[in-house]
Amino acid sequence: MTTASTRHAVVVGGSPAGLLAAHVLSAHADKVTLVERDRFPAGPEHRRGVPQDRHTHVLLDSGQRALEELLPGILDELAAQGSPRVGMPEDIVQWQNGRWIRRTPSTGYILTGSRPLTDWAVRERVLKNPRIETVENTEATGLAGDARRVRGVRLRERGTHPVGQGEYVLDAGLVVDATGRGSRAPAWLAAIGAEPPHEEYLETGLAYASRFYHARPADAALGFRGVYIVSNARQQSGAVLMPLEGDRWSLILSGLRGSEPPTDEAGFRDFAATLPHPLVHDWLREAEPAGPIHGFRKTANTRRRYDRPGRRPAGFLATGEALCAFNPVYGQGLAVSALSALALRDALADPRRVPTTRRVQRALSEAARPAWDISAGADKNVPGALGNVMRPRTLDKPVDWYMERLQRRACGNPEIGRVFRSVLHLNTPASALFAPAVARAVLFGPEPAAPTEPPMEPESRAG
C-alpha cells in the first residue's frame, strides 16, 4: 500500500550534492524535503556550514556538462554572474613533476567562480521547484526505522532545545545523506541495528591556506589567467592562483605534513617564497588583499563502502562527500556531486531494473569511483601518507613507473597531455592512458622538450 510517507523523500544537507539529489528525486516523489543545519543566505555569500567556501574551487569539464544536463542554462547563468572560464593548458602557467607544461591550445576548461556563487546559482534553480521544501536551522540526529527499512529521519531545531531534547521524526520513504565529510550516518545506522559501512581512509597531511585579492590594473596585461604549482614527493609546497568573479583573484598555498602554510601575513608571504619559482611570490608582493587568510586541514580521502554487502536498511542512500570525499587539491568535489546526481537520475529511470536501494547506492558509488582512483591512487605514493588502503598490489610498481613516464611526457607532448587532462577532468576512463597510441609514445617515444622557465604567454602568441 502506498502511503503519504512513502512518496516523501528527505535529503539531509544543502550542499550542491544535496540540492542536485533533491532536484532528481522531485521527479519521482510527491514531495522532497531538504534539511539544512544552517540558514541559506539570500545571495552568493559565505556560509558558516561550508568550511571550504573561502578557498579556491574549480568545476571540471565533466561537472559542467553534468550540471548543464541537470539544470539547462545554468552555465550561462554562472557566466552572467562573472564565473571565469579558464582553458587548460593555454591559459595556465603550470609546473608539475619538476617541469613547466607547454601552453598549447586548450583541450579542457574549468570554471573558477567562488564556491558561494556556484552554490547560490544551483540553489536558486533547484529551490524554485514547488515539490521541494526546505527545513533550515535544523540538524538531523538519527534515523527512524529499523535494520530492514528506514522510515524517516530524526530532527532537532538548532538553538531551541538542549542536546537530546526537542527531537521529532519527519516520516519519509527515502532518506538521503548529503551531510559531507562529517557524516554521522554510520552511527545512525548502528543505532537502528543496521551495519555501518567499512570506511577507507588515506591522508597525506596536506594543509592549505587561501586568500582572496582585488585585481590590479596591471593584471589585465598578464599573459596568463592562472598559475598552478603542483606539489609532489620532491616538492612539498604548491600553489593555485585563479581568477574569481567580481574582479578578484584567489590564491591558495598548500603543503604536506610538516610543511603546512601559515595563516599570518608574513608567514603566508614567506611560504610563497618556498615554491620552485618566484612567479607567485612576486605577484603576491604587489597584490591587494580582499579579506583575511583562511586555513584548512581536513583533506583526507575517505570512502564509505555502502556499495558492499551488509545488513543495511532499504530507504537510505548516501551521496556527495558523505559517500566519498577526496583530497581537495584535485578539484573533483563539485564535479562528482553533479555526476552522482546524473547517476541517481539514470538509476531511478532505468526501465530494465527495479531501482532498489542497493542498486541505486551502487550506481552512486560507481559515479565516485574514477575520482577516488585518481586521488587515492596518487596520494598513496606521497611520503608520510597514512591510511588503511596503503597495502601495495602486484601491479602498483609497473603502473607507477608507467605513470611517471606519462606525466613527464605530458608536459611537452600535446596529445599525451590532452588524454591525461581528459582523465583528470573525469571525461575519459583511466584506461585511455593505456590506449595503443598513448602507450607507444610513453614506452618508446623520446621525452619531449618542455619549457625551462615559466611560459608567460601561450604558444599561439609566443614569438
Same domain for 18 and 123: yes
Same domain for 311 and 197: yes
* DSSP per residue, 195-258: PPPPEEEEE---EEEEEEEE--GGGGG-S-SEEEE---SS--EEEEEEEETTTEEEEEEEE-TT
Q: Helix (H) and strand (E) counts for the chain?
A: 12, 22
Same domain for 212 and 150: no
Of residues 452, 462, 90, the one with CA closest to residue 276: 452
Identify whether 345 is part of a domain: yes
Buried (b) or exposed (e) across 129-140, using 16+ Cβ within 10 A?
eebbebbeebbb
- On whether the CB atoms of residues 226 and 95 are closer than 8 A, the answer is no
Last residue of a domain, one of 339, 357, 376: 376
Q: Is residue 10 exposed (0-12), middle (13-18) or buried (19+ Cβ within 10 Å)?
A: buried
What pLDDT is recorded for position 161? 64
Same domain for 126 and 53: yes
Q: What is the pTM of this model?
A: 0.95
Q: What is the pLDDT of residues 181-236, one digit of tens each?
A: 999 999 999 999 999 999 999 999 999 999 999 999 999 899 999 999 988 767 78
Q: pLDDT band for position 383 (50/70/90)?
A: confident
Structural domain boundaries enclosing 232: 207-296
- The residue-averaged pLDDT of 289-313 equals 95
Identify whether 402 is part of a domain: no
Q: Is the peptide bond before 398 cis (omega within 30 degrees of 0)?
A: no
What pLDDT is recorded for position 2? 42
Same domain for 222 and 135: no
Same domain for 286 and 340: no
Last residue of a domain, one of 376, 396, 422: 376
Q: What is the pLDDT of residues 403-413, one digit of tens each?
A: 999 999 999 99
Q: What is the pLDDT of residues 96-145, one digit of tens each?
A: 988 999 999 999 999 999 999 999 999 999 999 999 999 999 999 999 99
Q: How many domains does the chain have?
A: 2
**Cα distance between residue 148 and residue 375, in whole Å:** 34
Q: pLDDT band for position 5 (50/70/90)?
A: low
Same domain for 356 and 291: no
Q: How many CB atoms lie within 10 A of CB 311?
A: 11
Same domain for 304 and 215: no
Identify whether 409 is part of a domain: no
What pLDDT is recorded for position 1? 30
CATH number for the domain spanning 22: value is: 3.50.50.60
CATH number for the domain spanning 224: value is: 3.30.70
Identify whether 103 is part of a domain: no
Distance in angstroms between the alpha carbons of the first and the last residue of the chain:
74
Same domain for 127 and 23: yes
Label the pairing between strands 85-88 and 108-111. Answer: antiparallel
Cell of 140: 538531523
For 123, the 3-state DSSP assignment is helix
Identify whether 340 is part of a domain: yes
Same domain for 218 and 189: no
Same domain for 323 and 265: no
Q: pLDDT band for position 3 (50/70/90)?
A: very low
Q: What is the pLDDT of residues 255-286, one digit of tens each?
A: 998 889 999 999 999 999 999 999 999 999 99
- The residue-averaged pLDDT of 223-250 equals 92
Last residue of a domain, one of 335, 353, 376: 376
Identify whether 222 is part of a domain: yes
Q: pLDDT band for position 12 (50/70/90)?
A: very high
Same domain for 217 and 289: yes
Identify whether 251 is part of a domain: yes
Contacts 24+ apart (CB under 8 A), 255-258: 255/206, 255/207, 255/208, 255/231, 256/204, 256/205, 256/206, 256/231, 256/382, 256/383, 256/384, 257/204, 257/205, 257/206, 257/207, 257/384, 258/205, 258/384
Identify whether 38 is part of a domain: yes
